[in-house]
Structure 1
Amino acid sequence: MTTSDYAAYIASLPRILAGAAALFRDDEGRVLLVEPNYRKGWALPGGTVESDRNETPRQAARRETLEEIGLDVELGPLLAIDWVPGEERPPIAAYVYDGGVLAEAQFKAIRLQEEELVSWRLVSREGILEHLIGALGHRVLAALDALETGSGTVELENGLPPA
């Protein structure tokens, strides 16, 4: 196989998108959510994995956290991986890492990326599905369950355990 044949083969393969986020909590167990200005609903700090730059999901979650809220935090274990199909886009593999429990000083140090975010807030487990649309809400609840039970990384499909 020539170099050009290999390049054509690679170009013909199916595509997926990848996103990565960090799950931060306060000492009461509330989850840090951010409000984007480019779509409805809330989100975890995070974003697209820049795989064309050889960025890993873990690196993306840390970079996006620094860009979006101004905190450079070493992330803990992978809590959830979610396969989210799309109708007008390729499917997304969404990674959620444990950002840990932030100290009061860290919350006070949050500086929003004004180009993308309007605000942030802490939300209790009971309020997650009110703030996070679709699979994201279920993904966050599954990640919280993984933290609570110590079960390790959970595999999800569109926010729910595989059938």
Structure 2
Amino acid sequence: MKNRIFMYLFIFSLLLVLFQYVNSKHILEDYEKKLDRKVLREEKYADTINQLRDKILVASEFSIENSEQAMTFYENKGYRIDELVPFIKDQMYDLNTVKGDEHPLIPYAAMSGNGGRMLIDHIRLLNHEWIIANFSDGKYWGELLVKYELTDNKQLKFNVLDSFLYPTN
């Protein structure tokens, strides 16, 4: 009788160890699968981040902040780029507040019929001579290529080189 009890205890403990082994093996395999998925996802995200960095680099090519020659042009005249760029943008945005039905730079009248007018939405300084800007009246929009000049008495002169209005469907 005593031998049977030990035999049953031995078989029970053997089954318990076997169950623990199989269960831990499944848990380990599940963790490995999860880790593999996370590694693949991380690689995918790293690729996406690198692609976005490349796009940002390409997009920032035509920017006064990344043009050494344009920055040198103004630094040689005694200006600081980090102060000059906001000044130029502010002066151009201030043209949105000029009284009247027409914008001083935008050669198109508002066509949305809500009584508004064309306003400059976004400005990008390409270099020490050119600005590209987009404008809209809420429904119709277009872009401008503007030549600007900073006179000796720190006044800005804008000259629209070209503009276009996107067609609507």
TM-score, with length taken from structure 2: 0.24
More contact order relative to length (CA 8 Å, sep ≥ 6): 1
Bigger Cα Rg: 2
> Whose helix fraction is larger, Structure 1's or Structure 2's?
2
TM-score, with length taken from structure 1: 0.24
